[in-house]
Amino acid sequence: MVVTPLSGTAEVPLAASRRHNFEIGYMHKVFGQAKGKRLDLEVWADGYFYGNTNVQTGVHLKTDPAAQFIVYAPYYFHPQTDAYVGLSFEKTFGGKISEVNPLGTFDTGSRNNFTRIGVIAGSFLSPTIFAQAQLATDVQARGGAKNDIFFQVQVGKVF
């Protein structure tokens, strides 16, 4: 199990607000060898807490807390590089955005609420460089764009 406590703040791009994140994860080997070819099951939960975003004098956007639930089923086929392919499921909810102005608080209709399924793949490219990718589609979206195709690549370095 992996738990990351609230770890300071992160600047949200193109906004004058801050975000705090809390994450907990559980990883379990379904079958295979721990240091060999294996199928894992990973379950992650994230919580996001946002500050206000100033729009203009007397007007700001308030974002309710949001949560994300993620399930991965990676099959590790190359033990030397931890290379894997697998399936992914993501569900987010919450994150309602309201405009607060002198006349009151009004729901903008924007949410962080979607259900996404897809495939994942990743591998160490060197002993300290890792890359992973996800190709997915949104099967449900509320208060935001429904992505027919979602593609994400991440590269990280272990220090």
Q: What is the pLDDT of residues 42-68, one digit of tens each?
A: 999 998 888 888 888 889 999 999 999
**Looking at residue 125, what is its pLDDT?**
95
**Looking at residue 143, what is its pLDDT?**
83
- At residue 31 the predicted structure's pLDDT band, cuts being 50, 70 and 90, is confident
Task: Tell me the CA distances in angstroms from 133 to 88, 112, 116, 124, 146, one per residue in order.
Answer: 11, 22, 15, 12, 20
**Looking at residue 50, what is its pLDDT?**
85
- At residue 75 the predicted structure's pLDDT band, cuts being 50, 70 and 90, is very high
pLDDT of residue 9 exceeding 90, the answer is no
49 closest CA partner among 80, 100, 94: 94
In the chain, what are the domain boundaries? Answer: 2-157
Count CA within 13 A, CB hemisphere, residue 90.
Answer: 18
pLDDT of residue 13 exceeding 50, the answer is no
Q: What is the pLDDT of residues 108-159, one digit of tens each?
A: 988 888 999 999 999 999 999 999 999 999 999 988 888 999 999 999 998 8
- Bridge partners of 22, per DSSP, are 47
**Looking at residue 78, what is its pLDDT?**
93
Contact 42/74 with Cβ under 8 angstroms? yes
Superfamily, domain 2-157: Autotransporter beta-domain (2.40.128.130)
